[in-house]
Amino acid sequence: MKITDLKCAIIGNHPVVRITTDEGIDGIGCGEASKPYLKPHVLFYKEYILGEDPRDVERTIRRIRRMGAFKPWGTAVSAIEVALWDIAGKAAGQPVHRLLGGKVRDKVRVYNGNIRPKTGGGYTPEGMARNMKWMKDLPHNFSIIKQGIAFHGNMATEFPDYYYGDVELKERFPKRGRLTERGLKHTIECVEAMKEVLGDEVGLALDVGPGVIPQDALKLARALEHLNLMWMEDMITGDYTPFVLADMYRDVSDNTTTPIHTGEQIYLRQNFVDLIEKRAVDVVGPDPLDVGGLAEIKWIAEYADLHGIDMAPHGTLDGLIGLAALVQVSATMPQNYIAFELPNAEADWWYDIVEGPATDKNLVKDSHIEVWDDPGLGIRLIEEETKKHLREEDADFFEG
């Protein structure tokens, strides 16, 4: 079997990859819905994989892996890797999880970092408590809910004099600075209000940065120890930050009982070495659509397990294709696996263009998804329905 073509279409806002073969088997992968600009980057790799046997996933990916980078650029390699596993599974008549070593668990736990009320309550203790009650009452019966605070979201700009630093309202401006005393107290009050709603029935995780200085990260983590949080994520570095700073994380995690988490922006196993070997964090959370793919995130999970570090993969904005990929690989992870962040469809019409178990709107039961055994990822694009949502320049997506 040989690869005959690599295509990429922007469907909604997802860069969706389709790899075709000379035996008529194709595979799909995708990137987050926040990355429609990645199509040229995906297609850059085409010449390097044409003619390769897609079932030799590692040999094929070795040809392009070194040309990726930290989020968002690792997405292109990751989407191609996922599509290769989809082909390998379909060719073997086996689910991807079986090719990755088989199931460790029949059901995978998921957490909510993505399904939120359309009208937010604002960054006040009362508003955040209302939001938390809405999420707690969802039919998914989530056992863990994650909430953005501080520099993750708009708390730092909506609350007056929240921190000492340059205040810029542009979306991706890198906010960073020392918290004011008022800002620190407000953050603690908001977290306490959310935990009051959740009680000991639902775990609370916090997405906090990046941008919190190490001293404030430790101060905040210690101040919240009594709440038994699941973790505090990406405080110092993180989302769209192309470096790790493991020693700074270690200075925090060594001095608090609050679990510290990072990893969604990191590309490849090599860039997790310092975090894991120095035990700089308690939880790592790579995204399979950013880190280099399914085999890559499984390797990281196993290496983290050897060092007593837990795994909670990122998943927001990965969509239904990403959901299928996360289910497959999470089923194979060792016992350090906690839960992955549940993605959902960017728009309702995605449920019309994809078929397979991932499209079941009642898929999550008591915070778990039952792992399916359909070949490959277990999903496919419905050609005629998908064509209704293709851009003019992507009209040839299903050719070949």
Chain segment 69-102, per-residue pLDDT in tens: 999 999 999 999 999 999 999 999 999 999 999 9
pLDDT at 165: 86
CA distances from 90 to 96, 266, 400 (A): 9, 29, 17
Encode 140-190 in three state secondary structure.
CCCCEEEEECCCCCCHHHHCCCCEECCCCCCCCCCCCEEECHHHHHHHHHH
Give the CA angle between residues 374, 375, 378 to the nearest 5°. 55
DSSP letter at 372?
P
DSSP assignment string, 25-57: --EEEE--TT-GGGHHHHHHTHHHHTTS-TT-H
3-93+381-394 CATH choice from 2.60.120.10, 3.30.390.10, 3.40.50.1100, 3.40.50.300:
3.30.390.10
Q: What is the mean pLDDT of residues 51-63?
A: 98
Instruction: Give residue-wise pLDDT tens across range 32-47.
Output: 999 999 999 999 999 9
Q: Is residue 169 over pLDDT 80?
A: no
Instruction: Give residue-wise pLDDT tens across range 262-304.
Output: 999 999 999 999 999 999 999 999 999 999 999 999 999 999 9
326 close to 318: Cβ distance less than 8 angstroms: yes
Q: Tell me the C-alpha distance between 363 and 355, whole Å.
A: 13
Beta bridge partners, 177, equal 212
Higher pLDDT, 102 or 119: 102
* Sign of the CA dihedral running 242, 247, 252, 256: positive
Instruction: Name the pairing type of β-strands 144-148 and 203-207.
Output: parallel
Q: Is residue 400 over pLDDT 90?
A: no
336 close to 304: Cβ distance less than 8 angstroms: yes
How sure is the predictor about 174, in pLDDT bands with cuts at 50, 70 and 90? confident
Joined tokens for residue 212:
């919190």
Q: What is the mean pLDDT of residues 295-322?
A: 98
pLDDT at 16: 98
pLDDT at 227: 98
Class at the top of the CATH hierarchy for domain 99-378: alpha beta
Instruction: Give residue-wise pLDDT tens across range 371-380.
Output: 999 999 999 9
Instruction: Give residue-wise pLDDT tens across range 102-118.
Output: 999 999 999 999 999 98
Q: Is residue 172 over pLDDT 80?
A: no
Give the CA angle between residues 234, 167, 206 to the nearest 5°. 25
Instruction: Give residue-wise pLDDT tens across range 143-164.
Output: 999 999 999 999 999 999 999 9
Q: Is residue 361 over pLDDT 80?
A: yes
81 close to 29: Cβ distance less than 8 angstroms: yes
Which contacts qualify for 239-245: CB closer than 8 Å, 24 or more apart? 239/71, 239/152, 239/210, 239/264, 239/265, 240/71, 240/72, 240/172, 240/265, 241/70, 241/174, 241/210, 241/265, 242/69, 242/70, 242/71, 243/70, 244/271, 244/274, 244/275
The residue behind tokens 């707690």 is 136
Residue type, 174: P
Give the CA angle between residues 183, 168, 75 to the nearest 5°. 100
Q: Tell me the C-alpha distance between 200 and 227, whole Å.
A: 9
How many Cβ atoms from other residues are within 10 Å of residue 265's Cβ? 26
DSSP assignment string, 268-293: SGGGGHHHHHTT--SEE---HHHHT-
pLDDT at 90: 98
Residues of the chain with CATH 3.30.390.10: 3-93+381-394
How sure is the predictor about 125, in pLDDT bands with cuts at 50, 70 and 90? very high
Q: Tell me the C-alpha distance between 364 and 358, whole Å.
A: 10
pTM across the whole model: 0.97
Residues of the chain with CATH 3.20.20.120: 99-378
Q: What average pLDDT does the structure give for the chain? A: 97
Q: Tell me the C-alpha distance between 44 and 48, whole Å.
A: 8
Instruction: Name the pairing type of β-strands 144-148 and 283-284.
Output: unpaired
Buried b (16+ CB within 10 A) or exposed e, 89-104: bbbeebbbbbbbeebe
Q: Tell me the C-alpha distance between 110 and 343, whole Å.
A: 9
Percentage of the chain exceeding pLDDT 90: 96
How sure is the predictor about 225, in pLDDT bands with cuts at 50, 70 and 90? very high
